[in-house]
Chain A
């Protein structure tokens, strides 16, 4: 029995401090990313998520240069950028233009300089990998409580605002017609998105963070039509991918080339993608079966007119 556990998890898995930090961080990040990811899809703002993570690179690299933890860099830059986006309305898909792309490239260029300076002068060689691709094992037990607190705060605000956010995702005027301050709500959403991106950047790095934000959400949307269920399911899927990823990464220390574990972010993102493919297959199979039974919704044009409508 003991050997089975050891084979699956690797010896000393549960005794390891970095593993415990990684499990807790992974759980919080996955729950936040899942719930917010569903809203990101609903609001058609995955581009804002990408922009925030690109600019997060700048935050992470400059934080390392200033000698503070990358989380502060991610959060600081993210919140400022969210404010600017709301001011210029660039968060929406329709504004995805050349100018925005140019600003993002410029930010990444600056990040390249900062990362170079980080590695040259501070000889913190790991920082490039940590900022760009993350590493759950290097989060550090000092950062974990702060990360958990931030994650819980985001989830609490999301719980409070989920109905107004749902309504405004359908049409801003529908929300405004019910007295919801739409612009303020939009700004609030972008700040939440910035925080979620910062958290997922801590987990899988800035380059892969959109995958963790949108991937589990997209997977959940293949499996349920209910808004709240989709958020919970996305959180669960993200957690599953992250935890299994951590186990595999820990195991990989015993794999070739030996002595060096494979990057945990690789496992997490690959699992996110695999789960999406699985969910897509399940969804397709269910639809086909429903069609064969003839229980799917026919298009309105061919459906008989309902009673009461002449």
Chain B
């Protein structure tokens, strides 16, 4: 087992006396694709921001490549959840990617053929060459996502953290983004930690899952974590894990389900309702 690229130990965050995160710990191994799964408001963004050093936890510590975060920021690439750029802003896709190389430097940029070439290669790697000269603000959600991935990866980090990259994408662009990420992660040997409220688009590429609920996490492979008894313990009440057509649904399984002697039609309606609230299922479970 190689040394983890990211290690969170006993992370605790309190907000107004309420524990948002409590004793959260997990590791990400080099080159591994990890999904940070949980409903909206479960604390996924907080976990990512703490891992990234953008927010200080009230308890616990973060190690990157075995060292405290402070000096290791260059090992991490970050793609925030929602990036809104004015369509008129004079910033081309290639400018944003180039800022991934030297955006923190001060003074005028000296022309460098090597850097220009790296920007070109990175744009090609995420299939963004087609719109490299378009303004970032005029790109579609999926195109913008690719440019941000290129921005994050061009400094050759060991771990890429992404906050809900699929949240604002249609199903097809979402699937393209996932496939692209899996390919790049493999090609460049980058580990990925990606948050999502719906795990299904990620299932084919996930190595491990960190499931967040009630301020705590369950960690392991999909089959180890996404099980009725594991998630029920995590949520603190009964939830059911259903597998339908290769998709996983987590639905609230409370005692108010129809009594055994209820008409069959009513039962089926109830189940259907649970299925149609697929992604909202986890939210329902928390209520």
| Cα-based distance from A305 to B177 in the complex (angstroms) | 12
Nearest-Cβ distance from residue A158 to partner chain B, whole angstroms: 11
Contacts of A303 in B (CB 8 A): 130
Name A's interface SS.
helix
Nearest residue (CB) in B for A159 is B108
Whether A225 sits at the interface, judged by CB under 8 Å, is yes
Nearest-Cβ distance from residue A162 to partner chain B, whole angstroms: 8
Whether A138 sits at the interface, judged by CB under 8 Å, is no
Interface residue from B91, B108, B133, B183 paired with A166 (Cβ < 8 Å): B91
List which B128-173 residues lie within 8 A (CB) of chain A. 130-131, 133-136, 138-140, 142-143, 151, 173
Interface residue from B78, B85, B89, B109 paired with A173 (Cβ < 8 Å): B78
Nearest-Cβ distance from residue B7 to partner chain A, whole angstroms: 19
Interface string of A270-310 (1 = CB under 8 A from B): 00000000000000000000000000010111010111111
| Cα-based distance from A153 to B53 in the complex (angstroms) | 33
With contact pairs A171-B80, A173-B78, A308-B127 given, residues A164 and B92 touching in the complex (Cβ less than 8 Å): no
Report yes or no: B140 in contact with A299, Cβ–Cβ below 8 A. Answer: yes
Interface residue from A180, A299, A309 paired with B179 (Cβ < 8 Å): A309
| Cα-based distance from A224 to B95 in the complex (angstroms) | 13
Contacts of A87 in B (CB 8 A): none
Contacts of B104 in A (CB 8 A): 163-164, 167, 175, 178-180
Report yes or no: B54 in contact with A173, Cβ–Cβ below 8 A. Answer: yes
Contacts of A229 in B (CB 8 A): 90
Report yes or no: B173 in contact with A225, Cβ–Cβ below 8 A. Answer: no
Report yes or no: B92 in contact with A160, Cβ–Cβ below 8 A. Answer: no
Which of these binds chain B: A26-34, A38-46, A190-198, A246-254? A38-46
| Cα-based distance from A229 to B143 in the complex (angstroms) | 24
Nearest residue (CB) in B for A307 is B127
| Cα-based distance from A305 to B179 in the complex (angstroms) | 13
Which positions in A face B, CB cutoff 8 Å? 38, 41-42, 44, 159-164, 166-167, 169-171, 173-180, 218, 220-221, 224-227, 229-230, 297, 299-301, 303, 305-310
Whether B96 sits at the interface, judged by CB under 8 Å, is yes
| Cα-based distance from A164 to B138 in the complex (angstroms) | 22
Nearest-Cβ distance from residue A77 to partner chain B, whole angstroms: 28
Interface string of B64-98 (1 = CB under 8 A from A): 00000000010011101001011011111001100
Interface residue from B92, B142, B183 paired with A226 (Cβ < 8 Å): B92
Interface residue from A169, A174, A310 paired with B89 (Cβ < 8 Å): A169
With contact pairs A38-B90, A169-B89, A306-B127 given, residues A159 and B133 touching in the complex (Cβ less than 8 Å): no
Report yes or no: A226 in contact with B86, Cβ–Cβ below 8 A. Answer: no
Report yes or no: A41 in contact with B86, Cβ–Cβ below 8 A. Answer: yes
**Which A-B residue pairs are the 8 nearest by beta carbons?**
A167-B103, A230-B90, A177-B78, A300-B140, A306-B127, A178-B104, A173-B80, A160-B106
Provide 17 A-B residue pairs closer than 8 Å at the C-beta atoms, listed in order of the A residue. A159-B108, A163-B99, A169-B89, A169-B91, A170-B136, A173-B80, A174-B103, A175-B104, A177-B54, A178-B73, A218-B88, A221-B90, A297-B134, A300-B139, A300-B142, A309-B176, A309-B179
List 13 additional contacts besides A44-B86, A175-B104, A300-B142; criterion CB under 8 Å. A160-B106, A160-B107, A164-B104, A164-B105, A166-B95, A173-B52, A174-B83, A179-B73, A225-B92, A225-B133, A226-B90, A226-B95, A310-B179
Q: Which of B54, B103, B108 has the most chain A CB atoms inside 10 A of its CB?
A: B103
Nearest-Cβ distance from residue A213 to partner chain B, whole angstroms: 15
Report yes or no: A220 in contact with B107, Cβ–Cβ below 8 A. Answer: no
With contact pairs A300-B140, A301-B140 given, residues A163 and B103 touching in the complex (Cβ less than 8 Å): yes
Report yes or no: B103 in contact with A41, Cβ–Cβ below 8 A. Answer: no
List which B37-62 residues lie within 8 A (CB) of chain A. 49, 52-54
| Cα-based distance from A310 to B143 in the complex (angstroms) | 15
Whether B272 sits at the interface, judged by CB under 8 Å, is no
| Cα-based distance from A189 to B126 in the complex (angstroms) | 33
Whether B102 sits at the interface, judged by CB under 8 Å, is yes
Whether B180 sits at the interface, judged by CB under 8 Å, is yes
Report yes or no: A41 in contact with B99, Cβ–Cβ below 8 A. Answer: no
Nearest-Cβ distance from residue B98 to partner chain A, whole angstroms: 9
Nearest-Cβ distance from residue A35 to partner chain B, whole angstroms: 12
Contacts of A160 in B (CB 8 A): 106-107
Contacts of A230 in B (CB 8 A): 90
Nearest residue (CB) in A for B139 is A300
Report yes or no: A227 in contact with B83, Cβ–Cβ below 8 A. Answer: no
Report yes or no: B52 in contact with A177, Cβ–Cβ below 8 A. Answer: yes
| Cα-based distance from A164 to B105 in the complex (angstroms) | 7
Contacts of A44 in B (CB 8 A): 86
Report yes or no: A170 in contact with B96, Cβ–Cβ below 8 A. Answer: yes
Nearest-Cβ distance from residue A302 to partner chain B, whole angstroms: 11
Contacts of A305 in B (CB 8 A): 176
Report yes or no: A166 in contact with B103, Cβ–Cβ below 8 A. Answer: yes
Contacts of B73 in A (CB 8 A): 177-179
Contacts of A307 in B (CB 8 A): 127
| Cα-based distance from A95 to B134 in the complex (angstroms) | 30
Contacts of A163 in B (CB 8 A): 99, 102-106, 109
Nearest residue (CB) in A for B96 is A170
